[in-house]
Amino acid sequence: MTSQTPFAAAFAQAQLPGAVGIIVDRDGVRHAEALGHADVAKGTPMEVDTLCQIASMTKALVSVGAMQLVEQGRLDLDADIGALLPELANPQVLTGFDAAGQPQLRPAARAITLRHLLTHTAGLGYFFIHPQVLQYFGAVGMPVPGTRASVTMPLMFDPGDRWEYSVATDWVGLAIEAATGERLNDYLTANLFAPLGMNQTAFRPALPTEAARVHVRAGAGALSPVEVYLGGGEFDGGGGGITSTAPDYARFVRMVLNQGELEGRRVLRAESVAEMGRNQVAPLRAGYMGSAMPQLAQPFDTFPDQHTGWGLGFLINPERGPNGRSPGSLAWAGIFNSYYWIDPAAGLGGVFVSQLQPFGDPGALAAFGALEAMAYA
């Protein structure tokens, strides 16, 4: 009889619907474990390779795609992105609202660049995080989700002045499309997913029937599936539209650990990977997210006691994390309580996937922490 892993014990304590935990090093998978259910209503078990909505874990994949084009000279990190994306040309900053509730705007002090988009310093926001963005859409009309209009908004501040988590990576995806003339899914499949063997990773028009369902807590320990899908829409949402599996994402983590290469297939130069992992936003602090809609996402801060930075697509912790990760590790998350970390110094990383809202669930974070602690035990 095998004893329960610390990850399984934390999962049981957390009362999550289902979860997958994978620990990797540069050479392969060290540990993989699936627990609970993909759909509690149907009793469908969660498997290691169950398809899930990875939500904002999409952002790192799209960021790598953009850096491939930077290497080729087809995108420029520091040029005015408005030349490629007209909606971002001549940006306006929201200064407030008049007595009638109409937005007041002024021209931005500088242009938006791809570097601003990759570092979430462009001035853009998210309606579920930033009350002023929600108020803006309330004044001008709430756009249809999945449309370009849904990611088109005035800036909250001049580009480069602050860090605020945002729709910026949706625009990175649209920049990839504009630079290549290809749909984002087609570009990433050919240049990232297929070379890395991420064969279950894609932007899909609808949630497949075999995919895990997102759940909410229904009180007294009960869990209930809800119909929510971040994919589909009129463009491939680079900010969060991918469905994937934990093993596929673990291959991406291993590629970063191997400085842009996996099993003989190079998708990015080592220098580009190093640049993505370098703090781009100092002296600003990155990583804190507030909430305008706590039913979707709680206020969140991975390391509230650290002056965290941001690279070209990743959160960076400057000090050792409480569960073992080294200073300079890379990380981020998805809104349905999925998380990953990449520790180049130790050559370790991990992926935790669950399907539960709202984001920032304490039980899910505890289970992810237990998985990470196992990697360094």
Q: Residue type for 194, please?
A: A
Q: Is there a catalytic annotation at residue 165?
A: yes
What CA–CA distance (Å, rounded) separates 334 from 278? 22
Note if 42 is an active site residue.
Answer: no
For 358, the token pair is 């709202």
Q: Which helix (H) or strand (E) holds 95?
A: strand 92-97
Show the tokens assigned to 3. 């004893």
Tokens representing residue 223 in the block: 């869990």
340 is catalytic: no
Query: Is residue 362 exposed (0-12), middle (13-18) or buried (19+ Cβ within 10 Å)?
Result: exposed
Tokens of 126: 């998210």
Among 126, 136, 165, 249, the one annotated catalytic: 165
Give the integer Cα–Cα distance in Å for 279 and 284: 10
Structure tokens at 84: 């490629």
| Cα–Cα distance for residue pair 50/246, rounded to 1 Å | 8
- Nearest CA among 143, 127, 135 for reference residue 101: 135
Distance (Å, rounded) from C-alpha 33 to C-alpha 35? 7
Q: In terms of Cα–Cα distance, which of 237, 76, 97 is closest to 154?
A: 97
| 21 in Cβ contact with 7 (< 8 Å) | yes
Burial class (CB in 10 A: 0-12, 13-18, 19+), 353: buried
Catalytic residue list: 56, 59, 165
